[in-house]
């Protein structure tokens, strides 16, 4: 198993193919199941735990909140950048526009 870049992750091991067999059309039938794990690795050396989770997976894959936070942060950054550019473009007497003009004049002098 490859190392994960994030501290919390889920690795999909199996998927239940509901269309291949009528038995699994409504999910797993009720009952007791036995899981045999043959791939053992120690986790005590880095203070971690192992868990087995049976979950419903969406069409985008397993839950990954990190990607959602990255998308939100990127969107907020570009939205604020768009607002700043609109202020510079449409408000000629704003202090921000004066600063931009001052910097561009200094660059021309150099």
Q: Which residue has the tokens 């005590």?
A: 44
Per-residue pLDDT at 76 exceeds 90: yes
How many domains does the structure of the chain reveal?
A: 1
Residue 99 forms part of a structural domain: yes
At 77 the pLDDT is 98
Q: Confidence class of residue 79 from pLDDT cuts 50, 70 and 90?
A: very high
At 104 the pLDDT is 85
Residue 88 forms part of a structural domain: yes
Structure-token pair, residue 4? 């994960």
Of residues 82 and 8, more confidently modeled? 82
Instruction: Give pairs for 56-59: CB < 8 Å, separation 24+.
Output: 57/12, 57/15
At 55 the pLDDT is 75
Residue 13 forms part of a structural domain: no
Of residues 4 and 1, more confidently modeled? 4
> Which structural domain range is residue 79 located in?
22-109
Residue 17 forms part of a structural domain: no
Q: What is the pTM of this model?
A: 0.43
């Amino acid at each position: 198993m490859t190392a994960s870049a994030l501290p919390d992750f889920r690795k999909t091991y199996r998927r239940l193919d509901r269309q291949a067999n009528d038995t699994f059309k409504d999910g797993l039938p009720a009952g007791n199941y036995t899981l045999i794990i043959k791939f053992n690795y120690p986790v005590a050396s880095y203070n971690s735990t192992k868990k087995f989770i049976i979950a419903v997976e969406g069409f985008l894959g397993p839950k990954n909140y990190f990607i959602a936070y990255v998308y939100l942060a990127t969107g907020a950054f570009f939205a604020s950048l768009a607002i700043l550019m609109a202020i510079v473009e449409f408000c000629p007497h704003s202090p921000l526009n004066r600063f931009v003009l001052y910097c561009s004049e200094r660059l021309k002098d150099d």
